[in-house]
Structure formats: structure tokens, C-alpha cells
Structure 1
Amino acid sequence: MAEKDVANLTAQEAEAELARLSAIIAEANTAYHTEDAPDLSDADYDALKRRNAAIERRFPDLKRDDSPSEQVGASVAEGFQKVAHSQRMMSLGNAFSEDDVTEFARSVRKFLGLEETSALAFTAEPKIDGLSLALRYEGGVLVQAATRGDGAVGENVTANARTIDDIPDRISGAPDILEVRGEVYMSHEDFAALNLRQAELGAKTFANPRNAAAGSLRQLDSAITRGRPLRFFAYGWGTLSSPLADTQFDALKRLHDLGFSTNPLTALCQDIDAMLEHYQHIEQRRATLGYDIDGVVYKVDDLDLQRRLGYRSTTPRWAIAHKFPAELAWTRLENIEIQVGRTGALSPVARLKPVTVGGVVVSNATLHNEDYIAGRDANGAEIRGGKDIRIGDWVQIYRAGDVIPKVADVDLEERPASAKPYDFPTACPECGSDAPREAGDAVRRCSGGLICPAQAVEKLKHFVSRAAFDIEGLGAKQVEQFYRDGWIAQPADIFTLRERYGTGLQQLKNREGWGEKSANNLFDAIEEKREIPMARLIFALGIRHVGESGANLLAGHYGTWADFRDAMAQAEPKNDAWQHLVGIDGVGDVMAHSLATAFRPGAERDAIDRLVAHLDVQPAVRRGTIDSPVAGKTVVFTGTLERMTRAEAKARAESLGAKVAGSVSAKTDILVAGPGAGSKAAKAAELGIETLDEDGWLALIDTA
């Protein structure tokens, strides 16, 4: 398949493209990590990874089990001993604009309960484009060096690390156990000299400094590594027997005093303006540094605050990477087309005169919704200075950390006199049904439901997707074919295919691409999927706002399909079933409304019941298996907490296996009541629910 813009891919094309990208990236990883002979440039490799991630965002149901986006670094190469990191080596979240940085700082303050006027310092340092390395010292002696690997397990490269001049074999005055983390890199000058020597020897040259550094460090023969000009910047630490300092900045100074190279452009910033000013300073000097960087990393300076902020699943809350700007290009907007998704959303797509942006030929871009086209945000405020977007406009195309291009700006001086304001449709272009825009919704949605062919087909594709029923032999192409021929209109029809068409197999086996064996294989594959885990079924239903993680959350909470179905059918705003539903951490009013709507009497509920009649739904393991005093219990916080913020209390409770709810009900196990507790405390007393003050709560969980 010729490469197409992500915004213009069909689900079938996306599935094929994800398979292609997975194979190419896996092959590139092998060449890069194990053969020391990368055959892709750094930019091309990153572009493939971004394209893969963008397709997964647009088609989350097509995400592969071996997805490159789930890999942090790479698995250990053959020949290297495995090293399990005592503390996982995490990745960083990304910021692509000043607004993203402001939002990062705001989220830190909100989590910690800090006012805008409260002091909050950050460090800012260049983000080195190299290879992450962890160095473990015991009694001042280097005993182990390990690559990041997949974050949990890395490669033992101790012998190779000892050959790097910037890495001391012995240090004095350090904690008894000290794990220094940093980046191995190669300077531009050394890289050019290395490639010249490689060429003179008739050996393969390297694609870029990062690949050269990674390939050099991963040599099985440390003598080869010794001949490679590798450098090392320390930027952090892992396991420590005693603290290095009280702040990030002072800890880096301590590492420098111990003999490690730290980046001289690291600065201490007292506010956002200083952070952004230092970012601009580094960006202006980028071409003169002599080594590759791809952004600036901000970290909360106070290490106690870092500890309180903690981690998400793969990234710290206290740090973010501010990446350098995306590339921009100008081109002509030739048309605006409307695509209809499985939830009925009408999504406008810009058809462009092809233009190269960041090494990729772009012919389509997202326009988000009708407000974006009109030059305003969801609140009615102006964007782009209030300039609307019209067919025929000269537009600026923007590519950020993903590969889905966006129309960023319009040059009014280049606007044709004949260009007219775009009239966004109020009817579905596929079925003609009304497409209203509900209050609070950013998009219009087709009201046709299953009578809309676009929605029906997309729902069926979602149903058979990898994270849903994943029926072998029944992919997007077959779904389109069977729907077009009237064989399936709803998911339940899939499970009656053998009954309706399988007795003689004649109708199916004589179709193009089918034979008796493939037809029988399809029917057998369908039979195998009659037994389905509850979470997969919930996700497969394609209920709006219920993704894979939400489905797992709901299945883990309710346990059985019958309990889940009955609870959703009973849920009405403000009743007990509704309050229990929205009390599940991760479920809000928006998701609850979608669930309740789907299970009310009507066509959608009938389709669900008809489907489930053909299935054996396996119950889920209920949440709460962590060994702690609050594991599996439902906790509600009310009033003012004085020793931690509500966000901290919630995160701590969840880390111990508790469920944090927003309201008190008969299912509540513990109410933690601070000063100012009101109606929740009264209701807990009425229901006989255990109530603790903040000190009591801390005493309870500190035993965990």
C-alpha cells in the first residue's frame, strides 16, 4: 500500500499499515540493537514510530499485541546478560507548546495543592538524543552498568561502560549504594571522524550519532567499544542508600563533584517565564552545541515534592520533555470532506495540494470540528485571530509529535475572492439523517444509528477488532463485504452465519477469495469466540466514551455480566445505581450517560441482548487483590485534608488497592472525614459506615 496520510486511512488500510510498520520497526530494531548496522536514519525511524502511534490513536481497536508503542527501548539482545532494574527506568511525557508547559506546571500545583503565588522551582536541561544508561556503584566502586532495555530489564554492558572516559571506575564521598542514570552520546565531530575511519576500513558507516553511540555501547567485544569516542552526561539517579541532596539542582551539583559530567546548560528556574526563556536560549544554541538534542527537560526541583507527585504508569508526574517545534509548510486547501465514524461523529478533513512536511508528503489534514473551521474554540473564543478556513485558502500545515497534520493558520492575503465561508452540514452525508450537535458536545453526530451504513459498518469493524472479539478470518474487508451483501447487519448476525449459510457452504465457498476450507475455518473461529471475557465484550459493544481501559475497569468492578447489565439498566441520573456507577474511579457523568443510554429499552439494548444470547460471557476477577488493609474497599474522602491534597490521598489509596468513590452509598466501606465534612458524614453515620479522621486514615494505611 502506498503511504497515505493517517487522516485518510480506512480501517482496513490502517490494519495493514500497522502490520507493515510493526515489521519494519522490528527489523530496524534488530539492525540497530544487535547487528550494529542501522539501515534507517534517526528521522526516518522516529517518523515510523510516530506514524504507528498516530494510527493507533485514530484506530485504538486495531492496536497490535506487538505494538512498537508499548515498547520502552528494546528487549535485551542475544549475548548480553539481563539486568533487572531495581527501580524501573521510565519514559517522559512530552510538551510541544508553551501552553503544554503551562498546563504541566498547573497540574503539578493542583496535585500538590499549591497556590499560584506559592514558590515552585524547576530545573531545565537539554534533552540529549542518546542511549540511557544506569551505573551502579557500591562502596564507591562501579559494579554494574545496564542499558534501559524495556524499562524493567536491560542489558549488562559493564565492561563496555568502563571504557568511557566520562564514567569513573571509582568515586569517593558518595552514598554506599549509588545508581547514576544518564545518557551515552557521541559528539558531531567524533561521529564524523568515526564514520571516516569506518569508510577507510571498508566497514559500514553509521546513520547518525545516536545510532553510532548505541551500536558502540552494545558491542560484545569491549575492545571495539574502547575504540569508539563515547561520552556520558549524568542527569539523574535510581537506587540510593542515602539522599544526594534536597533538590534536583543540588543533586546534579553533587554528581558533578563526584566526578560525573553534567550538562552545563542545566539551569534553575523559579517560574514558567524563566523555563521558557531558557528553552529559547537552548534552542538558539542547538546548532552550536556539537551534539544532538531534541528538546528541554523540566523537573520539579524539590525532591520531596517529586516524591509526593510520584508516577503514572509509564511517566513521572514531576517531569516533562519540551520538544522542539514541529515543521511547518504552506499549501492550498482544495476541498473539505466529511467522514462519519462509528459513533456518528461528523469529522471534517482537509484535502490539500500535496506538500512535504517533515519528510512526509501530506495531502490531508484534520480540521477537528465546525468550531475550528469557523475560527473559534469550544467556548466561542477566537483562535487564529478569528480567521475561518475556506476551500481555496492558502493554509499553514503543522506536524507535532504525532504524524496527523493539522491546519494551523490561514494567509488572508492569499484568499481567493470567490472563497466562501464553509457551510458545515446539519445532515449526515451517508444516510441523510439529522446530525444535531448536543449541548456541550464539540461535534455533530448522525442520528441514524444502525440505519446509517457508515456507523453500522464501523461498529461491526470495531466489534471484530483485535482488542474486541478478534475473530480470525473476519476482518474489516470481510465485514464490509458481508454487510454490503446483507449477510450481517448487527454483531449477533455473525454468530448465526453457519446456521444461515453454512449447511451447504455453497454460498460462501463460491465467493471470491473463499473456499470450503476457508469457510469452515471462519465458522470454527466464530464458534471459538462464543466464550468471551467480560471486559472484551464491553469494549466490543462500541459504546461511546467506553474504551479498552474503561471496559476493564467496569468488568473488574461489577464482576459478572448479569450484575453489570442490571446495574446499567437501572442507572438513571441521581439514583443509587447511577451514584454507584459514577463513584467508580475513572467513570464520570459522560461515560455513565453513554452506558445508561445503551442499556435502556430500545434498538441498541435489543441488539446487545440478541448478541449476548449467543455468548458465554466469562466473569472478571474483581479488583482489590493487593495485600493491604484497604485492598478491595471503597473509600470516600470528604472535608478538608490538612496533611495531603485530595489528589495525593486518592492516588495513595488506589496504589493500595482501594476504590475511591465520589459519594457515600451502602457499598462504601470507609469515609475519611476532614474538617468541614457535611452531608457525606451524616449519611455515613446513618448507614453505619466506618468513619476515620485524617490521622486515623494515615495510621491505617501506614501499616501497609
Structure 2
Amino acid sequence: MSLPESVIERAESLRRELEAHNYRYYVLDDPSVPDSEYDRLFQELQGLEAEYPELQTDTSPTQRVGRKPDTGFAEVQHRQPMLSLDNAFEPADMAAFVRRIGERLGMPDTAELEFACEPKLDGIAVSLMYQQGRLVQAATRGDGYTGEDITLNVRTLKSVPLRLLGEGWPDELEVRGEIYMPRAGFETLNAQAREAGEKTFVNPRNAAAGSLRQLDPAVTARRPLEFCCYSTGVVTGGSLPERHAQRLEQLHAWGLKINPEMRVVEGLSGCQDYYERLAEKRDSLPYDIDGIVFKVNRLDLQEQLGYIARAPRWAIAHKFPAQEETTRLKAVEFQVGRTGAITPVARLEPVFVGGVTVSNATLHNMDEIARLDVREGDVVTVRRAGDVIPQIVQVQKERRQGDEREVQIPAHCPVCGSDVERARLVKRGKGREQVSEGAVYRCVGRLSCQAQLIQALIHFVSRKAMDIDGLGEKNIELLVQRELVRSPADLYRLRVDDFLQLEGFAQLSSENLYNAIAASRKVELARFIYALGIPEVGEGTARTLAAQLGTLQRLREAEPLLLTWLPDIGLEVGHEIHNFMQDSHNRQVIDDLLAQGIELQHESEIAAELQAAIGLDRLLLRLDIPGVAKTGAESLARYFKSLESLLSADESVLAEVPRLSRKARDGIMSCLRQPEWVEQARRLEQQLRAFGMHWECEPKANASAEVSAQPLQGQTWVLTGTLEQMTRDQARARLLSLGAKVSGSVSGKTHTLVAGPGAGSKLSKAEQLGVPVMDEAAFLAQLEQWEAS
């Protein structure tokens, strides 16, 4: 039997009216009818849908609370990463942020540069996906790349429209924002919990997080949660305004809540004025905020500024001053890190500060303990700023009783009993080394120390390193405690039966972990370098070393001065890498790993820009001769032509070199009288020849049969949309290994855009600029062709 037309029209009319009331009440904070009238309309719609089940739609106001999921929360891959923000804590940090923007944009005067300003809500970042105006998915931020599907719970929030108001929305629209709990709702929720004898929440943020992770959406529906949007993500099949603030206003018109305190200001002074005004107003706001987010308002400038590894260059969070409380320091204990560093940790009488109960705080190192003159038993001031680890900032010495105990560094490692030694600081310059005592003490036990071994293994198997799925911290601790693993190479000696000894492992999970470890034997060079845990070598530096040097063997041999010719590697980092690679223990670890079948992928020739690129003048500058700058080095290179000719020169010969100052001649003679300097110069030139970087070497047009070239050298590529055959990280790594630079934004300098399903504004811009676009299938085929050649 067909539905009466009048019933269909009345149901649709009720839905529109209820949605309009929800918008005014939950988004505009301007209710248009009494609660009793809203309830009457809601009950009428419920009655119609009960009588005519065919009327029910998933966007009806009556269908917000769905059934419980059959299992836990499924993973959601973010098609565009939900990046974190860099922080500013002082006015000087904000000034530096604005100055960097001006420098990158070639804008000396930033006084009129627009910034969109919004309070930084202390809640949970989420993504809402709308298709054809209907809410189809909600997900947590997670680690920025993968979150959890919380659609059923988010549907219960009345500040989240199940279908957008108005018209003109894109076919696909990702809205990003914060789910938070207002202070009044938090207090009410805790009061109800106390009355029921249940555990209370520590702060509104924890309450919001706990509410969103309820497996029963009905529980979430009873919690006083709200959603406030702050940006967009994926946008396809339509367009949005080209200014951030205007985009938010458009989202507001479509039924989404934005923060009423959002403003657009100009320049650094406008940002500072806004920060000060909100700081004064902070305590009177109905919700918790922990700072202000400032974003460059124009989206074309955002794209031009681009991103660093984990954050946009065009946005920053200016945090409010830290919150402090007083408590007593009960004891100082010492923990051992991955590099053997012995770190003091303060054990405190629990104190409520910054919204959480704090019982531990960092003391950094022994120099900090001496600076504070902190002793066990002292009354101390503890500071906690946002998510920063709590720290002791002051000792209230006037409250000492006389029985406080001085803190002493242990003579032996608290974990393995090995000796503890103080690190040395070496400051290098002008051919000299100045040695002083460092602030760090280290256990000398290396991998024989379980604490160092466990931390080293956790780093080794991590996602950005060897990426061994299923080998978590707990399992590593068990393997070490059972003495099944004493070094990273031992992971590759494990058998299925070894895993069966561990708690929680059955036959299938043991086989899966065994296979995951075996699969990791084939690893990209950059990942392997990062996995080694070289001091000062993060993911980006590891990629630079792999792309520039091309092979692990060159890295193992590279002189510190040679490493400084690589982008963004200074002398101190060069020495850290060299010392690590020359250490007999580390060399043995690497040899053991290679003996266990580690196969380094995408090794290559030395980077094209380094081949035959280091002239004698550049070599002399690197040797840091007192009094010899760029002009002097060029004069010496033109006159002597070779390093050996210079090394055999005397003062009379040097006097004949044009444009060479007396100071430079004295500096050169001083170096020539030092056998170690002469040996270093010869050793460095020899390595330049061996690596193909020497000015007399022939640049290699093609790689050898065994070593692949870098066909994408000098090209900038951009990835967008969802890749189905690999992750974006994997695609990025393969492009980098072929010599490409991978950017987060499209410009006229972009060589190619790889566009998967869901590609949005980057695809549109590439088409406007005439940038070549490649789909995933063509991209994979081309990758295979490049990597096979």
C-alpha cells in the first residue's frame, strides 16, 4: 500500500522544522521555541514513523541513536592527514612564526597579512565526511593518518547535522573540528556519577574522550558533548571560498557550529591583541581552551607555504601560560633510555595540576638538579602546560626542615649494574676541539643493558623504521626478559615456537609475527638508517643520507667533513654519524643484521648533484683554515690546482698567490705544520675520489647494472587522494628513493601530481596550472619501470 502524500509531506515538514530548531539551539545558541514545543514535534514525527516504517530515513532526527556495533571501532585511513600544529609559548615564538611566513612569501612587511584566529578547544579532534550533504562517516584523528570509526556515536550529537542545510555543498565534503564537553555539562555529569557512586572524570577533555569511545551509542547520547568545526579536509565535486574564515562561515550556513570568538586580524600586532583579549576572557568562557590557533587566512598562501613533516607552516597554536601547583618531592629515581642516558625522574606526592593528577615530573639531567638545588623531601612547584610532561620549576627552600637529602647520580646503572660515565661535549671550530663535561650521564652497558636493548628494539621495529607489525612494546619486553633476543639481529633468528612461549600467542598469531619479521628483511635504505637509532638522525636526516650517499657502505665510511656537504647536515651531526659508524659495537650490530639477510632496497649511485661537484676551493673551505674564506680558497685553487701541490708549499710560494692575505698565509702554514691536519686533508680528498665527488672524477650519466640511478632527480611530485595499492607513506618513500622531492602542495614547479580516488583541490589546481596528472595504475607501472632500469 502506497503512503498517503499528506503523510509524506507532513513527515518531511516535521524533519525540516526539527532540524531548524536544532540549528538554532545547538549551533546558534538562540532557541526559537520552548522545549515543550520541540518535544511535541519530535513525538509527532516518532508516531508517524512508527505507524509508517517506510518513512524512516537515516537522516531523520529520530534516528540519531543507532544500535550497538557488532565489534569494536574499525580503523579509518584519513585520505588527507590530520596534522598536528607547532606550538608557540612566548611572544617571541609568535614573532618568529610571522617572520618565517614573511620570508617564505617574499613579503618583508606582514603588517596587513590576514590571520584567522580561533580559541583552541581542549577536546578531541574528529573528521566528519558528508556525501551529497549526508553524514556518512565520523572518525577520530588517531595518529593523524589512521583513526577510529565513531560514526554511530557522533550521530547522537545534536550539534552535528545528519544532513546539511541549504544547498550548493560539494559532492564530498570533509569537515574537521573538535568534540568537547562544556564545563557546565562536565560538572553535571560528575555530580550524577558521585550520586550513583561511580568514578568521576578528571577533566572535560577526558570526559569527552571517554564518551566518544563508548560501544553503546545510547551512552554517548546521554553525555553533554558538542561539536565545533575548524577546517575542511577532502572536498570534491564543488568549491569553497578561498579564505579560511569565509569557509567556516559557509560551513556555519550549512548547519555546522563554528566558534563565535573566531576573528580575522592583520599582522603580528593583531594576533597579539587577540591573544591578550582571549587570555583575559579565558576563565569566563563556557568551555576549556588551552591556547589560540592562528592560521594564514588565504588558502593560496597556505598552499604556497606548504608543510613540514608533521605540521603546516601556515598555522600555529599559541599556548596559554603553564599552570602550576605545589607539592612535595618524595624521591628521585633514574631511568635508562635507548642511548643509555640516565635520566632523573621526580616521584611526587600526587597533586592536581593542569587538569590531571600528577605524581611524576621530569628533572631533565643532573645539571638541572644542581641549578634548582633540588633535594629529596623538598617542597617544589610543578608546572604542567597542555600535554607537555610536568616539570619542577622551583624549590621552596624556605620550607626546608633540615632532613632533605641531596640527589646523587648512581655510580652503576640501576638496570644492569654497568658503570655510569659522564658524556663529553666537543665543540669544534677553526681546526680546534674544545672538550667539556656534558650534562648527560650514560650507562656503558650498551645492548647488554636490558633497558637500552628494549628501547633500541622498540625504535628498530617502529612504523617509520623496520615497520614490523605485531611486535609491540610488551612483546619486546617478554622476548628480552626470556633472553630470546639480545640484539636487533636476534629478531631474525626467532622461530614460530619462540613466539608460542609468549603470553597471548597462539599458532596463527605466532606465524603472522614470524612472517612479518621475515618480510621486513627487504627494507628501504632510509628506513634502515633511521632504525639504527643514530644520535641526531631522525626520519628526515635518514632520507637525506640515503638519497645523497646512495649506499649503506658509503655511510659507514663517510668522514664527518664529507657529510657536511649533504643538505641540512652540520659538523656536529656529521661527527655523531661518523662516531656511531666507527664504533666497534655498532659495526658489529650492523654486520649481524646484514648477515641475517637484511636486503637494502633502492641503493643507488651518489646523488647527481654531488658527482664531481666538490672543487679544490670547496675542499679547502671545509678544512677550516684560519684566515681563509671563500675568496682566499678560490685563489689557492686557481694557483695550486691540486691539494698535494698546496701541501708541499712553503711560505715563499704562498707569498706568490694573488689576493692571499698575510693572515691567510699564516693560517695555512699553521695547518701545514700539524701532521694530523695534513692527514685529515689527504683522507678527505681520497674519500671524495672514492665516492665520485672529486673535481677530477667523471660524472656518471647512467648507473651501473647493480645500482639504480635516480631518474626523478630535481623533480617535485605531489600525492593526493587515496592510494589503494600502497599507503601514501610508501609511495612517498619510493619517490624519494628515485630522487624526487615530495611536496604537500601544487605549484607551477610541480612536475607531476599522483591522484587517487577522492582527490580534491590539489587536482583542480593541477589542472588549472597544466601540471601532468597520473592515476595510481599508471604511477605503479612507471615506478616498476624506473626501479627495474
TM-score when normalising by structure 1? 0.55
Cα deviation for residue 324 of structure 1 reads 5.1
The equivalent of 1:436 in structure 2 is 424
CA gap 1:465/1:86 in 2 versus in 1, 3 angstroms: closer
Amino acid at match of 1:90: M
Check if 1:619 corresponds to 2:600.
Answer: yes
Aligned pair count reads 529
CA gap 1:403/1:234 in 2 versus in 1, 3 angstroms: closer
Cα deviation for residue 261 of structure 1 reads 4.2
CA gap 1:609/1:421 in 2 versus in 1, 3 angstroms: closer
Unaligned runs of 5+ in 2: 1-67, 429-435, 614-692, 701-709, 716-746, 753-770, 774-789
TM-score when normalising by structure 2? 0.50
Secondary structure in structure 2 of the residue aligned to 1:619 = strand
Amino acid at match of 2:230: Y
CA gap 1:670/1:156 in 2 versus in 1, 3 angstroms: closer
Unaligned runs of 5+ in 1: 1-75, 376-386, 499-504, 506-511, 625-631, 639-661, 674-695
Secondary structure in structure 1 of the residue aligned to 2:588 = helix
Amino acid at match of 2:749: L
The equivalent of 2:118 in structure 1 is 125
Whether the aligned pair in 2 keeps the contact of 1:177 and 1:240 (CA below 8 Å) is yes
Whether the aligned pair in 1 keeps the contact of 2:88 and 2:316 (CA below 8 Å) is no
The equivalent of 1:305 in structure 2 is 301
The equivalent of 1:395 in structure 2 is 380
Q: How does 1:372-521 map to 2 (within 5 A)?
A: 372-373=368-369, 375=371, 389=374, 393-402=378-387, 404-414=389-399, 430-431=418-419, 433=421, 435-439=423-427, 443-444=438-439, 449=444, 452=445, 456-462=449-455, 464-465=457-458, 467-468=460-461, 475-476=476-477, 479=480
Q: For 1:323-368, what per-residue CA distance to the aligned partner results, in whole angstroms no more than 9, with x for missing partners? A: 5555422234466566554534343444545545457665543222
Identity of aligned residues (%): 31
Farther-moved stretch of structure 1 (161-170 vs 537-546): 161-170
Cα deviation for residue 155 of structure 1 reads 6.3
Amino acid at match of 2:535: R
Amino acid at match of 2:427: A
Q: For 1:661-697, what per-residue CA distance to the aligned partner results, in whole angstroms no more than 9, with x for missing partners? A: x999947989989xxxxxxxxxxxxxxxxxxxxxx99
CA–CA separation in structure 1 for the residues paired with 2:479 and 2:269: 55
Amino acid at match of 1:431: D
Whether the aligned pair in 2 keeps the contact of 1:342 and 1:457 (CA below 8 Å) is no
Whether the aligned pair in 1 keeps the contact of 2:363 and 2:392 (CA below 8 Å) is yes
The equivalent of 1:90 in structure 2 is 82
The equivalent of 1:247 in structure 2 is 243
Whether the aligned pair in 1 keeps the contact of 2:126 and 2:177 (CA below 8 Å) is yes
Amino acid at match of 1:615: Q
Larger radius of gyration: 2
Check if 1:171 corresponds to 2:166.
Answer: yes
Cα deviation for residue 265 of structure 1 reads 1.0
Whether the aligned pair in 2 keeps the contact of 1:298 and 1:320 (CA below 8 Å) is yes
Secondary structure in structure 2 of the residue aligned to 1:90 = coil
Amino acid at match of 2:266: Q
* Residue from 539, 546, 560 that aligns with 1:573: 560
Cα deviation for residue 95 of structure 1 reads 2.9
Check if 1:532 corresponds to 2:526.
Answer: no
CA gap 1:444/1:327 in 2 versus in 1, 3 angstroms: closer
Q: How does 1:628-643 map to 2 (within 5 A)?
A: none
The equivalent of 1:134 in structure 2 is 128
* Residue from 222, 232, 241 that aligns with 1:237: 232
Secondary structure in structure 1 of the residue aligned to 2:598 = strand
Q: Which has the higher contact order (CA 8 A, sep 6+)?
A: 1
The equivalent of 2:685 in structure 1 is none
CA gap 1:371/1:224 in 2 versus in 1, 3 angstroms: closer
Cα deviation for residue 304 of structure 1 reads 1.8
The equivalent of 1:686 in structure 2 is none
Check if 1:268 corresponds to 2:319.
Answer: no
Check if 1:296 corresponds to 2:283.
Answer: no
Secondary structure in structure 2 of the residue aligned to 1:127 = strand
Secondary structure in structure 1 of the residue aligned to 2:392 = strand
The equivalent of 1:687 in structure 2 is none
Whether the aligned pair in 2 keeps the contact of 1:395 and 1:409 (CA below 8 Å) is yes
Q: How does 1:141-290 map to 2 (within 5 A)?
A: 142-149=133-140, 160=155, 169-172=164-167, 181-183=176-178, 233-238=228-233, 239=235, 244-256=240-252, 261-272=257-268, 274-290=270-286
CA–CA separation in structure 1 for the residues paired with 2:257 and 2:570: 48
CA–CA separation in structure 1 for the residues paired with 2:250 and 2:374: 54
Whether the aligned pair in 2 keeps the contact of 1:146 and 1:158 (CA below 8 Å) is no
The equivalent of 1:329 in structure 2 is 325
CA–CA separation in structure 2 for the residues paired with 1:479 and 1:84: 33
Whether the aligned pair in 2 keeps the contact of 1:633 and 1:670 (CA below 8 Å) is no
Whether the aligned pair in 2 keeps the contact of 1:342 and 1:454 (CA below 8 Å) is no
The equivalent of 1:72 in structure 2 is none
Amino acid at match of 2:390: P
Cα deviation for residue 290 of structure 1 reads 3.5
Whether the aligned pair in 2 keeps the contact of 1:94 and 1:323 (CA below 8 Å) is no
Whether the aligned pair in 2 keeps the contact of 1:77 and 1:155 (CA below 8 Å) is no
CA–CA separation in structure 2 for the residues paired with 1:528 and 1:226: 43
CA–CA separation in structure 2 for the residues paired with 1:494 and 1:196: 51
